[in-house]
Structure 1
């Protein structure tokens, strides 16, 4: 049985050959860090017999336990906010009215360390997957250092990251590293087509070449036609185009649009939107200022903004880049950013 993402098969076999007690694998968001980590854990715990047996086999009791999220020798540390999107039940300890955390708490790390020192249940190994490792704050990361340096026998630690430089140097120095590649374009397009994504080339570009991100866009109801029409709708100040979008998605999309408009204004090629979908006439200085404001705002997307009012303001700000398309009445609203 091959890896669920075909472009990760070669790195998977490389990781199995390395046999590192602590492995840090990293790559751009949307190429499959979690999927790779889970498949590697499944392979490490696989009970397929024989020296040349392909792992994970997908048929043994261990593989079945992994598929049902019930393996006693596998533990996953990740923020509460990622559990449901990745198909894991909520922690029973979380209060129902509490907002899911985006961090891995120190108590969770300590519990995982205690778990790692318990006996192996099925006689193969114990695997702790931390996804993403950058969700550990400094105290949580420091609590893991001794375990990384001197793990219990048969324990394997797997850490994911998009940017390993965001981790503490003491964490990085205790791990072997493995870079996960961006998939070849044709492989990514074929994978998206197999999953029913229509006109996958447009959404793959929209996602910067990251197929899992393109699939997420499609899952949110963004198709190729809607993506291509978005710049013109924003030019006309049509807030209905993005009214239901989560704020992080909206800010990310506006930053992509700003990037492409600046690239075209400087004589380059767009990256995220079709070239013929981009309205002309936006001035480069205004785009540079807009980019700075969007970047500053994106650093505070967890602030309790009034989402609908902020979306209206952001769309009005975008429309103001093309004065001829701006409604005659009303001045350009400005986004209130922190520090101003």
Structure 2
């Protein structure tokens, strides 16, 4: 994603806006799926580019090539090791050896020792003369010790060092970190813009607009997630049939999904049922696919709390099969028509 025109249009607009601003530390905030990583990377790439334009990096110079190959000497990208491996960013030699030797698993948090290395990096002189850049993503994965290690650099970076903290859960970021950054709220794309972009990305393989709208609704309006779902073979026709199937205890449509994905479906269903119970519009499912009479608020509130509790251990279940059976039974119980005395 070197050239700025490869960014989604709504991200390109935000990039151009940010490049007009002054500041050494930016906090990109918003819910997941709005392109914080892509925008953050495009921003640091433009800062380091040898021939930048008001729209961003040129995408053709040596500096842009080094960013694309994850080898720029003046760029430090700080991520949890699990995210770095997923996105193709190298780990430090020590961390990679520990993971390869299976002495420990890749960390899901940003490690304090990695932050100390980044702080040391930020104090060096630029190798290519365009300053130093640091990208932290997702920034909420810093624990208190890691975040505190960054504070002095955020407040008074050495030389021409600029930082981007791309965040998908701002409430988890320390106030002392937020207060040292200029904030940029990520923009939600309009549905028409999102549909146009998804169709351009899928080309001839793009389904009908109705299917795209269903998919976009299912992911809460996040175009990149909708695109990923469609590319994975997800069938939009099955989405709105899920509530009725789950009410019958039929989990077959979800059986091949990972536990965290099944939990996500239940949380979305619970959200929409609570919305309809409050006379509001559902967000993820078509109103016609939901039970004609929503469960009582107390039932939904308890289910919501149970799902939040389940989210804490969903990645480490004692038994995925037993957990799925329990979820299926609980969902069927919640969705069962309430029996009232004659």
Q: 2:216 aligns with which of 178, 194, 204?
A: 204
SS at match of 2:28: strand
Equivalent residue number for residue 338 of structure 1: none
CA drift at 1:59? 1.3
Q: Which whole-Å CA distance do the structure 1 matches of 2:269 and 2:67 have between them?
A: 41
Aligned residue for 2:126, secondary structure, equals coil
1:233-244 equivalences under 5 Å are: 233-244=245-256
Does the aligned pair in 2 maintain the 1:81–1:101 contact within 8 Å?
A: yes
| Preserved CA contact (<8 Å) 2:139 2:166 | yes
Change (3 A) 1:35 1:189: same
Give the one of 8, 14, 23 matched to 1:5: 8
Q: Is the 8 A contact 2:16 2:55 kept in 1?
A: no
How far, CA to CA, are the matches of 1:151 and 1:84 in structure 2?
A: 28
Mapped to 1, the partners of 2:54 and 2:61 lie a distance apart of 12
**Structure 1 residue 20: deviation in Å?**
1.1
2:86 counterpart SS class: coil
CA distance in 2, matches of 1:223, 1:153: 52
Q: Which has the higher helix share?
A: 2
Structure 1 residues 175-214: Cα deviation after superposition (integer angstroms, max 9, x where no partner): 1111111111111111122222532211111111111222
Match of 1:245 in 2: 257
- Residue number in structure 2 paired with 1:93: 97
User: Deviation at 1:219?
Assistant: 4.4
Q: Does structure 1 residue 27 correspond to structure 2 residue 30?
A: yes
Structure 1: state its 5+ residue gaps. Answer: 326-340
Question: Where do residues 152-191 of structure 1 align in structure 2 (5 Å cutoff)?
Answer: 152-191=158-197
- Residue pair 1:45, 1:125 contacting (<8 A) in 2 also: yes
Residue aligning to 1:261: 273
1:3 Cα deviation after fit: 5.5
Distance between the aligned counterparts of 1:251 and 1:162, measured in 2?
Answer: 19
The yes-or-no answer on 1:223 pairing with 2:251 is: no
1:193 aligns with 2:205: no
Q: Partner residue of 1:286?
A: 299
The Cα of 1:85 is off from its aligned counterpart by: 3.2
- Contact preservation (8 Å) 1:242, 1:311: no
Measured at CA, do residues 46 and 292 of structure 1 come closer, stay the same or move farther in structure 2, by a change above 3 Å? same
Whole-Å Cα distance in 2 between the matches of residues 172 and 240 of structure 1?
Answer: 44
Cα distance in 2 for partners of 1:222, 1:148 equals: 42
| 1:37 matched to 2:40 | yes
Structure 2: runs of 5 or more not aligned: none
Q: TM-score, normalised by structure 1?
A: 0.88
Residue equivalent to 1:329: none
For residue 54 of structure 1, report the CA deviation from its aligned partner. 4.5
Distance 1:322 1:86 in 2: 39
Counterparts in 2 of 1:280 and 1:84: CA distance versus 1, 3 Å: farther
CA deviation after TM superposition for structure 1 residue 103, in Å = 0.2
What TM-score, normalized by structure 2, do the two folds share? 0.87
Paired residues of 2:110 and 2:143 also in contact (CA < 8 A): yes
| Correspondence for 1:337 | none
Shift of 1:95: 1.8
2:308 is the counterpart of 1:304: no
CA–CA separation in structure 1 for the residues paired with 2:50 and 2:125: 17
Alpha-carbon RMSD across the aligned residues, in angstroms, is 2.2
Counterparts of 2:292 and 2:108, CA distance in 1: 39
Residue of structure 2 in register with 1:65 after alignment: 66
Asked if the contact 1:120–1:126 (Cα under 8 Å) also holds between the matched residues in 2, the reply is yes
Maintained 8 Å contact 2:247/2:336: no
Equivalent in the alignment of 1:46 = 49
Q: Contact 1:104/1:137 (CA < 8 Å) preserved in 2? A: yes
Report the count of equivalent residues: 323
State the distance in 2 between where 1:228 and 1:100 align.
Answer: 37
